[in-house]
Each structure stands twice: as structure tokens, then as C-alpha cells.
Structure 1
Amino acid sequence: MFGFLRRDRSKREIIINCENLEIRAAVMENGRLEELMIEHPTSERIVGSIFKGRIQNLEHDLQAAFVDIGWKKNAFLHYWDMVPEDARRDSDDEADEGPRERRRSYEGREIERRFPIGSEIMVQVTKGPIGTKGPRVTAAISLPGRYIVMMPGSRLKGVSRKITDESERNRLKKILARLPVPDGMGVIIRTAGAGASKGSFVEDLERLLGIWAGIQKTAAEKPAPCCLYQEPDLVDRVVRDWMSDDIDRIVIDSKDKYEKIREVAGQISRRARSKIVLYDGEAPIFDHFGVERQVEETFQKRVNLKSGGYIVFDETEAMIAIDVNTGRHKGRGAQEEAILEVNTEAVEEIARQLRLRNIGGIIVIDLIDMKSRKHQSAVYKAMKAALKRDKARTNVLPISELGLMEMTRQRVEESLFASTYSPCPYCRGHGVVKSALGVSVELQRQLLAVLRKRDRTKPASGLNIVVHPTVLERLRREDEHFLIDLQSRFEGSLTFKSDPAKHVEFFAISDAATGEILYSSM
């Protein structure tokens, strides 16, 4: 057996599982899952793609345009995202150009003059379709490379805020000033650019300029709507965005992809190329490296903490509700200290779970009540620190008087749960069904209505009632006297039948003589 098949103590490694219908990449730190990326090759990659679209309508009240990009639903384009420079002020996280300016509000006439209905516009998808909503797009195009992000139509130039070493920032700014960047082209040095040579930046820039030239050529030749550019697949993006000195190795289970990313990594350095390893073990790669079990945990509502406490996730269309509980936790000291310990561990785990589950939107965390302002501040700071490693934009507020922590997280695509599961057709997505008591109550209510109506219009006759076996058991054991009373009051016979093939909430009332359905619950 090859040495790499033995689980070693690598500090950071990326495990990639390639299958026909799904590609998964997991970033592991000392055997613990920290990042999870999933892509389906049979589905079109839309986030990051660039389209030549056609404006379908302008909604001044919404301050937005709807653009036909050839997708199932028209794309949503805010007015402030229609002008690249205005869009940059709010959307860019990498630049160091000082505080963001407030979004500008546009007059309807100005937009109609600059972007009349039916006109063509080049846009890039920033958020995929979620639920009933179409994709969201921007006219502020950005092309990410290994070391830089290139932004056509922008004057912005800067260095990633995440590079904090002042001497390195100064070195990179000097390199940036000497790069042969064409006029009307913005450039931001990415975090991966720290320590890179000037030649690496030049090569990256030349490659991106070539891609942009191809996009412009396609835009000139093809009519709208059409796709001009699509982001590379997940495996290529992992090498581009994640390969760095602190990654010890990338292990992949596909021979073809292995050869491809070794070639890509070789363009970075020989050392990077040597970090790519092919897995050919008998067990599935995620099982072998202990990833599968941790992935399955991300689909569970309840997450247990090492301290004995636990977290409960409830994902709804409006927001994500997260509840923190002490569970079996037994604090060593005072109760307040024990609560602080659980809450601190909880927010650190919540930050990790948000990344793994790809949860976005409004998030409300119900922490265990803390009386001490000092403790509340400590938990808030712990959450802020834990969110620093999140690539998605986040905004978290201090703990409220009700003990709630409110935050938002950038939502680019559907959550892992929403993209993997579909609503249960049996319970219609509720997760629960009516109890036998609930069905019995509804049945008796509708049965009484049918009997009253027949009492006025027709002579007494029998009724057939079909129910699920569990409901019939309830009727026989606990509700029989109510039904006997109904039967005697309206002088008609009631015949009950069970059908295990029916839904547990189903019942139907029909005329025994004619077979006419008088009422059906479903």
C-alpha cells in the first residue's frame, strides 16, 4: 500500500472526490472538516459566468432591471449594479481603497436614457437562482486569476485587505504600479499573491487579458442572449483559489483530473506540483480520510458540542434560526462561567457550520442567557474572530437584550441542504403529519356537515367513509361513541373502511347507494 494511503498528520489537506454526477472538495485541518464545496457536472455553472443579455423591463420602484440572459428566469440587476464604477464601491472585498461609499439612487429617466428596454448589456452572475427567484447579476465584470482579479471598465487598483504585513503590502503595491495594465482596467492583488514574484503577476495578467479578449470577440459575434464566459470546474478552482504554502497536499481519486491539475499546479511551482497526490485505495476516498461522516453531520438539525451542549439549526425560507442549549454540560465553576464556556464553543462551531452548510441570508442565534455584559462581549468577539476565515461577506451585531445574536451572511447559491434535498411529498415539506386525533376531529366536522345537508335534501341513507388504518384504530378505540351519536341523530348508517395505501391524513365520504363522493380531504 502506498504511503499516502495512510492517514498522516498533515496540518492542512484538500480531499477531492470526483464522480459522474457530483464533485466534492473538502478542506481538512488535522482531520477536521473546515470547508466543503460541491458541484454537479451535469448542471450548468452559472455563478461567475458572464452573459450578453437584453434588458426586458425597468422597475423604477424596485430600482432594478430584469435582463434576459437565456436562463429560465430573467436576471435581477440593481440600478446601482448597472454602472461598473458604482457597483465596485459596494461589492469589492479585496481592495484597500478606504471606506465604502453609499449606494447612489438613480432617476428612472436617467436609466431609461442610458439603458433603454431592448438594449444589450454585458453582465456577470453574482448569485445563482434560489427558490423562485432568478439569478442576480452585475455589470461590474471581474475575472479572477491565481494572483490577481482583473476588472474591465474599472480604475480600481489595490491589494487584498487580508494581506496585513505592511512591508509585503508595500512590495506588492510597487509591483502593481509597474504591471503593464491597459487603460480602463482595474486590478486587485489577491491574498495568494503574498510572496509571489513579479513574473507570476505578469503571467497571470497576460492570461486574464487573453480571456477578456476572447469574451469581447464572442460578444461582438453572437446575438443576445448568450453566454460569453464560464468559470472553470470545481477541481480547477480548488487549485486556483486554495493552493498555497499552508496546504500540505491535495489528494484526488480521478486519474484524468489528477493529470490535469498536476499540469496546472506545475505552472505555479514544482513544489505545488509535488503536492498533488492520486488516491487509488479500495475504500471511497471520503470514507478513507474520515470526511463522509463529517459531511453527513452537516445535514443534521442537531450538532453536539464537545462540552456536552448542543446546537439546533432550523432553515426556513425567511431566515435561519439557531438555538444553543447546555445539554449535558457540567461546568467546573459557577453557572455563569459554564454558560460562557458553552456559548463560546457554540459560536465557533456555528461559524464553521455556516461555511459547511453554505447557509446565507438572515441568521438569528438564540444563545443561552448571559447576565454579564463582559461575557456577552466575549462571545460576540469570539464570533467575529471565527467569521474571519469565511470567504463569504458577513455582518454580525452585538447580542441584544433578548439574548439574541443577529447576523447576515452573503448568499451566493442555495444552501447545501436545499440543493441536496427536496420537500417530502408525503408531509409536503412540513416534517410532520396530522395526528390520528387531528384527522378524527376534521373527519367528524366534515361528516356532520354532510349529514346536515343530506338531512334537508334527501331521505336517510348510508355513508361510506374511507380512512387510513391508524385513524380507523383511533375511531374504534376512543371516538366510537361520538360516531354512534351522529348515526342515531341523523338516522343513517355509517360504514368505515381502512385503506393502508391512502395518506394518513386522507379521508373520503361517499354515498353508499350511488358511490358519489360527497367529501374528500385530499
Structure 2
Amino acid sequence: MSQEILINVTPRETRVAVVENGVLQEIYIERACRRGLVGNIYKASVSRILPGMQAAFLNVGLVRTAFLHASDITCPATPHESGSVPVADITDLLKEQQHVLVQVIKDPIGTKGARLTTHITIPSRLMVLLPDNPTVGISARIEEEAERARLRRIGEAFVAAGEGCGYILRTAAEGATEEALRCDRDFLGKLWKSIQVRSDLAQPETLIHGDLPLALRALRDLITEGIAKVWVDSWETYQKVQVFCEQFLPDIAELIEHYQGERPIFDLYGVEDEIQRALERQTQLKSGGYLIIDQTEAMTTIDVNTGGYVGHRTLEETIFKTNLEAAQAIARQLRLRNLGGIIIIDFIDMEEEDHRRQVLRALEKALERDHVKTQISGVSALGLVEMTRKRTRESLERVLCEPCRTCAGRGSLKTAETVCYEIAREILREARQFDVQKLLVLTSQEVVDLILDQESDTLAELESFIGKPIEFQAEPLYTQEQFDVVLM
């Protein structure tokens, strides 16, 4: 399975695309005016403690205060007899105006501020440093038991020789030599000490350590065994990437190439068209079926439909094949659109239990390639597949779009007929309260046309009832729902 990473750089925006066998799988976008905050470390001050929520709001120097839950605070805890570790009370962990070193684990999303933790993690290419947490973790993607055991032995040796720090061995550590892992450990140790020094000297509400820019972060986090090439279309960024790779990722330096073609690299790979399609509500399947994807504040719902696919055998076989194809498409759309939180999938109802099991298994297998943690809770009593996908940053739609100014994000408008009757009620209300000579209604052209044509009898009755003339004036800047009744 051939994968390529495309890095497109313009003065104020960097975009990274992951292309698999010529098909876009993931897109990352970072703008100079609104960089992602995940991974940043701040010296924060506690603004407000909420005992009822077991949480606190902290000032980190951003527009909105950030949120810290008690479960995300490092503290010594004594296990219960059952073996579980209780979460200490928030009032015992924090005091107002206290200064705390925190890390962002979720970007601000919608009206919510950033989500914080005091469990600091510092990633490198092969490892993740866990200060003050002397444990060893191995990536679940490393499946060979002998390799897991080897990495665990190395990790435990690092912990034993360290200063109370723990380590997570990342997927990229598979097959890495002990010397390479030791170099990573030494780099992370020096970085953590420099962070501690800066934290001691810094004022509260200050950024202590910022994560890498997107182009470099992509090399650190997205390079896997299947990556064949990394294309960079900016010479300046290409040079920075080369220096970064020579210093930290020498084993992948040969994969980096500067793209010099006249045609934009995203156009060459069809990425721009895929991004446009990823913003649409409907996603077509090759068979003729389609998905309807609706993103709301609480959850994302995905509805599967057969559409124009009629199959060749039985209805059950047609539905089964559509659902199998949909399972693959859904996994890709989740990555491409970066949909997170609760996700409800309404596959077409299948009568055979074996078909339901195969579709669920196909979805699970397709999700295995996702870098983001996903969990399928199972099938509900209504036959809906319930799952979650970890949300750390805004979805593609939220990054590139804003709510419609005409419908305010509702996705629908009142009909011209509805607005006509609203105007009639408003005229009656104004005529009863005020003594006027006539009334002037300012509204959209569509409403004016409807009133003077199909609703002309209604207008005549209304004028007769209030005993006053009513004039209409079309306002080109008014939306279909807007109107004003002017008393004259």
C-alpha cells in the first residue's frame, strides 16, 4: 500500500495531505492567524474553581479561559481496596490564583475553550516522554510479541536510569536500534529540563513550549513504514525540513523531495476536488449508493442509502454490498473530515445476522488505519452503530467554513408564503397600536412578487380590514426572511 505525504505551503497557510494509492485520506490545515494549540505547554493561573463539576477554568493567555478537569491533574493517589484509583476533590488539588504547568490536549472548539491536562507528554520521532510518570508503554500497532518484549526491556532500562520519567515507545520505534532510542531519550530529557527552567522564570499566562509547525509535525507523527515519498512545494520549507530531518530523523531524509512542477501539487493529485467534496453533506459511493453526513454540536450522524444501486440478485444482497462499501467509505470520511466525538451510523437494515457481523467487522478493519483513537460501542436496540472518535481539533468543515449568514446555520429558510403571513400579522399588530396614514413594507423581491401576485386577494382584504393603504418595496439586500413595517 503506497502512501505519499504532500506539503503545500503559502505565506499564511500550510496544508498537509496524506494520499494512499492516489486517494486522499487525511488533510491537515494550519493558518498563521489560527495555529493549533494541541501539545503547547503553558504556565497558567487558576481563574475559577467549580466544585460541582470537579473542574477549574484557567487563564493561559488565550481569548477564552481553558478547562481543566480533576481527572486530568497529576496527584499522588492511594488505590482503593478494589484496585481503582479515586480522583481527588478539585478543591484539594487547586486553589484560585495558583500557578500550574499545563498542556493543551484539545483545541478550542466552537464556543468551548481549550481542554488542559497537567499530565505533560513530550513526543519525539520514536518515543514520548512522560515526566513524573515512571511507566513504559508500547504502541498497540506493534503486534509482534518479541519486538514488544525487546522495546519494553529497553524502556524499563531507561526508566531505571532516569529521573522519575516514563516513556511510550511509538509505532516508529519498531525495529529501531537501542542507540537510536537512547538518542531520542537524551534529546527529550534535555528538552524537558529546558521547559522546567523556562517555567520557573516565566510569568503566569505565558506559553512555555510550543509544538512544532505543521510541516515538521507531520514528519514526526505521520511517517510510517508505508510512506514512499514526501513532497514539499516550497523551497524555503523544504530546506527547513531537510535540516530538521538531518538533525532528528536521518532515516527518512531520503524520502523528502522538493516539488518543482508548474501545476500546483494539490491539483496534480486531485486533492482540491476531494476537499470540496468533503465539505458536502452527501458522499457518493461507487456502486451508486450514497452517505448523508450531518455534523451537529452533540454528535455526527451518518445515514447509508442504496440510491441508484439496484444490484443483480436479491434485495438482501444489494443491501449487504452497499453496507460493505459504505463501511470503507465511512472510515475514510471520518479521517478526511476529521469528525470526532459521538458518531451514529445508520446502515441499511439487514435481515441476516452474518451480514450484520461482516459489515461491523469491515468497519472495524477499515478504522485500524486511523491515527486517531476510535471505539465502536456496538449496535443499539434500534440497529444503529454507535462509536466514538477522539476529538482533538476542529473538523475540516469548522476550519474552512462558517455558519450561513442567511439561515444562521439552520440549513433552511422560511418560505416566501410563511413570511407573507408574518407580515400580515405584524401589520395588524401595528395598525391596532398606532394611528397612521399608510404602511410601507420593506422586504425581499421574492416576497413582494408573491404578495402582489398569488396573495393579492389577501392584501386587498387586509387593506379593507385596517382601512389603510399598504405599499410594498423590494429591498435587494434583504434575505427572504427579513422585513420591516414602516409607519407613515
After the TM superposition, which residues 236-255 of structure 1 pair with which residues of structure 2 at under 5 Å, given as runs? Answer: 236-255=216-235
- TM-score between both structures, scaled by the size of structure 1: 0.88
**Which residue is 1:516 aligned to?**
none
Q: 2:19 aligns with which of 25, 28, 37?
A: 28
Q: 1:482 aligns with which of 458, 463, 466?
A: 458
**Which residue is 2:346 aligned to?**
366
Q: 2:123 aligns with which of 144, 149, 153?
A: 144
Q: 1:464 aligns with which of 440, 450, 454?
A: 440
- Separation in 1, partners of 2:9, 2:324: 36
1:322: how far off?
1.2
**Deviation string for 1:466-521 (max 9, x for gaps)?**
22221111011111111211222232222222222323222222223xxxxxxxxx
Q: Which runs of 4+ in 1 moved over 4 A?
A: 267-271
Q: 1:85 to 1:394 in 2, by over 3 A?
A: farther
- Separation in 2, partners of 1:11, 1:505: 51
1:298: how far off?
1.1
Q: 1:419 to 1:84 in 2, by over 3 A?
A: farther
Q: 1:122 aligns with which of 101, 108, 125?
A: 101
Greater CA deviation, 414-423 or 442-451? 442-451
Q: 1:49 to 1:351 in 2, by over 3 A?
A: same
**Which residue is 2:476 aligned to?**
500
Letter aligned with residue 135 of structure 1: A
1:332: how far off?
2.4
- Aligned-partner SS, 2:140: coil
User: Does residue 140 of structure 2 align to residue 161 of structure 1?
Assistant: yes
> Does structure 1 conserve the Cα–Cα contact (< 8 Å) formed by 2:36 and 2:393?
no
Q: 1:352 aligns with which of 310, 332, 349?
A: 332
Q: 1:428 aligns with which of 402, 408, 415?
A: 408
- Show structure 2 runs of 5+ residues with no match: none
**Which residue is 2:31 aligned to?**
40
Letter aligned with residue 74 of structure 1: T
- Separation in 2, partners of 1:269, 1:452: 78
Letter aligned with residue 189 of structure 1: L
After the TM superposition, which residues 283-362 of structure 1 pair with which residues of structure 2 at under 5 Å, given as runs? Answer: 283-362=263-342
- Separation in 2, partners of 1:41, 1:498: 42
**Which residue is 1:396 aligned to?**
376
- Separation in 1, partners of 2:300, 2:106: 18
Letter aligned with residue 99 of structure 2: E
Q: 1:184 to 1:271 in 2, by over 3 A?
A: closer
Identity %: 36
Letter aligned with residue 263 of structure 2: A
**RMSD of aligned alpha carbons:** 2.1
Q: 1:103 to 1:335 in 2, by over 3 A?
A: farther
User: Does residue 82 of structure 2 align to residue 106 of structure 1?
Assistant: no
**Which residue is 1:133 aligned to?**
112
- Separation in 1, partners of 2:171, 2:443: 64
Greater CA deviation, 405-414 or 390-399? 390-399
**Which residue is 1:75 aligned to?**
66
- Aligned-partner SS, 2:368: helix
- Separation in 1, partners of 2:315, 2:39: 49
- Aligned-partner SS, 1:153: coil
Letter aligned with residue 141 of structure 1: I
> Does structure 2 conserve the Cα–Cα contact (< 8 Å) formed by 1:468 and 1:507?
yes
1:270: how far off?
5.9
> Does structure 2 conserve the Cα–Cα contact (< 8 Å) formed by 1:84 and 1:154?
no
The number of aligned residues is 484
- Separation in 1, partners of 2:14, 2:165: 34
- Separation in 2, partners of 1:449, 1:153: 69
1:85: how far off?
7.1
- Separation in 1, partners of 2:93, 2:11: 45
- Aligned-partner SS, 1:105: coil
- Aligned-partner SS, 1:240: helix
After the TM superposition, which residues 404-423 of structure 1 pair with which residues of structure 2 at under 5 Å, given as runs? Answer: 404-423=384-403
> Does structure 2 conserve the Cα–Cα contact (< 8 Å) formed by 1:368 and 1:403?
no
- Separation in 2, partners of 1:200, 1:428: 54
**Deviation string for 1:435-467 (max 9, x for gaps)?**
11011111111112222334xxx4x73222222
Letter aligned with residue 37 of structure 2: I
Q: 1:245 to 1:409 in 2, by over 3 A?
A: closer
- Separation in 1, partners of 2:84, 2:316: 42
- Separation in 2, partners of 1:277, 1:59: 51
- TM-score between both structures, scaled by the size of structure 2: 0.94
- Separation in 2, partners of 1:267, 1:117: 42
> Does structure 1 conserve the Cα–Cα contact (< 8 Å) formed by 2:378 and 2:387?
no
- Separation in 1, partners of 2:50, 2:121: 26
1:268: how far off?
6.1
**Deviation string for 1:206-227 (max 9, x for gaps)?**
1111110110110111121211
- Separation in 2, partners of 1:421, 1:366: 26
Q: 1:290 to 1:489 in 2, by over 3 A?
A: closer
1:351: how far off?
1.2
Q: 1:59 to 1:197 in 2, by over 3 A?
A: same
User: Does residue 40 of structure 2 align to residue 58 of structure 1?
Assistant: no
> Does structure 2 conserve the Cα–Cα contact (< 8 Å) formed by 1:67 and 1:76?
yes
**Deviation string for 1:233-268 (max 9, x for gaps)?**
111112112233321110110112212222333346
> Does structure 2 conserve the Cα–Cα contact (< 8 Å) formed by 1:63 and 1:106?
no
1:338: how far off?
1.2
Q: 1:138 to 1:383 in 2, by over 3 A?
A: same
> Does structure 1 conserve the Cα–Cα contact (< 8 Å) formed by 2:121 and 2:128?
yes
- Separation in 1, partners of 2:251, 2:71: 44
